[in-house]
Amino acid sequence: MRYGMKSKRKVTRHQPRDVDRELTELRRGLTLAGITYNRQVIEKFRIYIEVLHNYKGRLHLLSHRDYYHIATRHFLTSLMAIPYLEGCRTVCDVGAGAGFPSLPLKIVLPDIECTLFESQKKKACFLRQLIEKLELSQVNIIDERAECFAGKTFDVILLKAVGKIKELLEIIDNLIAPRGRAIFYKSHRVEGEIHAAEKELRKKGYQIQLDRLYTPIENKPLALVILKKKKERGSFT
């Protein structure tokens, strides 16, 4: 190296055109899925993408490749649960991480009240800053384990990439409201996991519903496993 010359450091920046490409894909995916949106919704998703990229390298939130497919692999996948939230007011997200699936749902369905459980303090701090940037109301961050939470139950419990169904029954029992439901985001190959938990689920009074879907644009397989609490012995919600 010559004296007086500074070494060049390669800096990777997220270019505005990449954000625009993501938002174009998002608009297309929303249209394909029949989800209505407006300019304010798209702007919030723009901010969401920018905040995620600002944290890249500082906090592990997504895999490296997913930073260039946020709209298709995370936003649109999260929104696949919209039809199952009809008539629900209170929603919680167990192991919220980067805010999926709850925050994309909150952006599109602003009237729902969201509680995000994230026991890792740094990720909980990220979520608080993200919510502030997005100017979202009625969103609470709980930086403790969901199984330790007391005092409130929820109409819907969202669980994505947090473990097997059978292992999470204690958490569901602790959080679910009467006539509530838990929604697991899974792969199509989920039958074995359901079978392993089925006996205990029936014993605890849950109805099991499995819906196999495909995400917009990428057409990736997605299974939603919905556990519904019975109204009373012998009848279902």
pLDDT above 80: residue 48: yes
pLDDT above 80: residue 237: no
Residues near 42 by Cβ (< 8 Å), separated by ≥ 6?
A: 23, 26, 27
Q: What pLDDT, on the 0 to 100 scale, is given for residue 16?
A: 59
pLDDT above 50: residue 59: yes
Mean pLDDT across the chain: 90
141 compared with 2, residue with greater pLDDT: 141
- 65 pLDDT tier (thresholds 50, 70, 90): confident
- Domain ranges for the chain, please list them: 79-229
For the stretch 145-188, pLDDT in tens is 898 898 799 999 999 989 899 999 999 999 999 999 999 999 99
Phi–psi pair at 212, nearest 5 degrees? -95, 125
Helices (H), 75-140: 76-78, 102-108, 121-134
CATH of domain 79-229: 3.40.50.150
pLDDT above 80: residue 9: no
Q: What is the mean pLDDT of residues 194-209?
A: 94
For the stretch 120-142, pLDDT in tens is 999 999 999 999 999 999 999 99
CB-based contact 114:103 (threshold 8 Å): yes
Q: What pLDDT, on the 0 to 100 scale, is given for residue 15?
A: 54
- 215 pLDDT tier (thresholds 50, 70, 90): very high
Nearest in space to 193 (alpha carbons), one of 211, 170, 166: 166
